[in-house]
Chains A and B, each alone.
Chain A
Amino acid sequence: MLPSITATAARRFANRSHIPLQTFVVLAKTGFRRYSTYRQATLAGIFTNSVFGYLRCYVMLAVAAGGGGTVAGYGGAQLVSYVWVGQGMLATIGIWGDTELATRIRTGAVVSDLLRPVPPVTTYLATDLGRAGFALLTRFAAPVLVGALAFDLYVPSHGATYPLAAASIVLAVILSFGCRYVVNAAAYWLLDSRGPQIAWMLASSVLGGLYFPLRFLPGWLATGLWVATPFPSLLQTPLDVIAERVTGRAAAELVVLQLFWVVAMLAFAAAVQRRGERKLVVQGG
């Protein structure tokens, strides 16, 4: 029978917040490799994303036609791009990512994460970036390609859009990671983190802009969501940048807002982790 171990012992090591870049890169590579082994699941996912791409694309085109060609500032081709790039983004940011951390907290396996010389938030972030890298090459690229072949996809016309879009995607990946980390870490207090998981699933998809572009909502509501919650920075911002619904200064401002949420969310995740470690009791036996 194992004695019950509290995590306090590990905190001494976890305080090291700076790790060599090399370690980070190695961890990211393992994340990439791990997900690259799930080949059949990747194919199945691409298929499903494409079916939903067709579905939502036709609905959005009908909306554009009903609204006289342009709705909420989006032309038909921009909405096509919004839908297909959106389907690609889902798996890239891992919006419905696994509940691994929550499960590890519940089962007590998280204790081995705490014994490592790298803080858990950093380890999980590195592996998640690796996962996103693989997703970008497969689950992002494939649906966008399908969309481009089947519909008139909007191609960004400003040169500045491309680097800005790349930055926006990376920020969205990190932000999604931070949010999911916090949702999972709720298990330190609740053990069953299903409530927060469901709330996250709803908020990220509806308020993130998956069900409909947030600009379909009344202006004050959309702006309020953007400023007061991190959700629009997950999907809506990168999609608006890529579809050039916003350009120039306005686009850059939205990406800066994303950056703000990334920093805030990572700091919050680290704080939650520290408090959680004090709370954690691993039942032995």
Chain B
Amino acid sequence: MAETAELPAARGALDAGERFRPYQMIFKAQLRAQMSYRMSFWIDVIGGVAISTMDLATVLVIFNVTSVLGGFGFRDAFFMSAIASLAFSGADLVVGSIDQLRLNIRTGQLDSMLVRPLRLLPQLVSADVELRRAGRILEGVVVLAVAAGIAHVPWSVASAVLIVLAPIAGSVLFSALFITTATVAFWWIDSGEFGNGFTYGGRDFTNYPMTVYGQVFRRMFAVGLGFAFVAYYPALTMLRRRDPLGLPPWTGWLSLVVASIACLVATTVWRVGVRHYRSTGS
């Protein structure tokens, strides 16, 4: 990119505003590019909204044939789905395209990113943010509000804070997972769909109460990867429901801790991955 020539990064000490400017420029250029193909842009917006609608509609259809799912009725289960859906949409907007990393590695484009006086991950993220995915966020917020109404969440300051924090913490967790699974490409270029099992799989997993899953599988996904803290536990805390799996009622607040740990793991794995990177030479 031509702008890199006059980046302030070369000039020693920087204030925070200046440090972010190059990424802002990349981000804005990306937005202009995406907006220039208007038709494609709107098709993608509508498509994205339709896809997340289907995930939520699936819950409706399932409750058409059963009244209980893993010990929960429709109202509670739909509330969990709504939190999970918004959390995933947030991560998808920011880092959903990071799985393109393996193409960057394969084609050798990563080399040109590494020689710039900018950090790699922010470069990738600012160049990959897809505005067309923003429609899903808007939809997610509306659906969550409706779901909270249907579920009769007992309102208090604590539940109002948590209903905002839970989707954000969930987004952070999903983002960390997107980054960690994309990092696999540093070791395994042909990893293909491998990461989808965890990212999109996680989206499906969090769509339902944790009680539906078998014990071993639940331990791996819900606890090992932290997915129980995206929607299930925050929803239980807000609804003041007892956890059939035996954890205390304040567990929902742990989602903040879990998200922080996930971030730590993702950055560590990312750093190791970048250090491991050997150009494909093409």
Contacts and interface: CB of A to CB of B under 8 A. Distances in A.
B217 to A, nearest CB: 5
Contacts of B196: 48
A45 B192 contact: yes
B65 A63 contact: yes
B212 A51 contact: no
Interface residues of B, number: 38
A228 to B, nearest CB: 19
Interface stretch (A22-30, A52-60, A154-162, A167-175): A52-60
Contact of B47 (A59, A202, A206): A202
Interface in A223-275: none
B40 interface: yes
A44 B193 contact: yes
B194 A48 contact: yes
B36 to A, nearest CB: 12
A195 interface: yes
Interface stretch (B67-75, B241-249, B264-272): B67-75
Contact of B58 (A52, A67, A212): A212
B201 interface: yes
* Dominant SS among interface residues on chain B: helix
Contacts, number: 103
A205 B58 CA distance: 12
A216 to B, nearest CB: 5
B64 A217 contact: yes
Given A40-B188, A62-B212, A51 B65 contact: no
Nearest to A42: B192
Contacts of B155: none
A198 interface: yes
A45 B193 contact: yes
B223 interface: no
Contacts of A48: 193-194, 196-197, 201
Interface residues of A, number: 36
A198 B133 CA distance: 14
B213 A40 contact: no
B212 A59 contact: yes
A44 B191 contact: yes
* Dominant SS among interface residues on chain A: helix
A33 to B, nearest CB: 17
Interface in B188-235: 188, 190-194, 196-198, 201, 204-205, 208, 211-214, 217
A216 B69 CA distance: 15
B66 A67 contact: yes
Contact of B61 (A58, A202, A216): A216
A38 interface: yes
A56 B64 CA distance: 17
Contacts of A205: 54
B100 to A, nearest CB: 16
B217 A58 contact: yes
A11 interface: no
B50 interface: yes
A67 B55 CA distance: 21
A19 interface: no
25 contacts: A40-B188, A40-B191, A41-B190, A41-B192, A44-B190, A44-B193, A45-B192, A48-B194, A51-B201, A55-B205, A58-B214, A62-B69, A66-B67, A71-B65, A72-B65, A192-B39, A192-B40, A194-B43, A195-B40, A198-B44, A202-B51, A202-B54, A206-B54, A211-B58, A212-B58
Q: Please give me the 7 A-B residue pairs with the lowest Cβ-Cβ distance, nearest first.
A: A66-B66, A198-B47, A62-B212, A51-B197, A40-B190, A41-B192, A44-B194
Given A58-B213, A206-B54, 7 more contacts: A51-B197, A55-B204, A55-B205, A59-B69, A63-B66, A195-B39, A216-B65
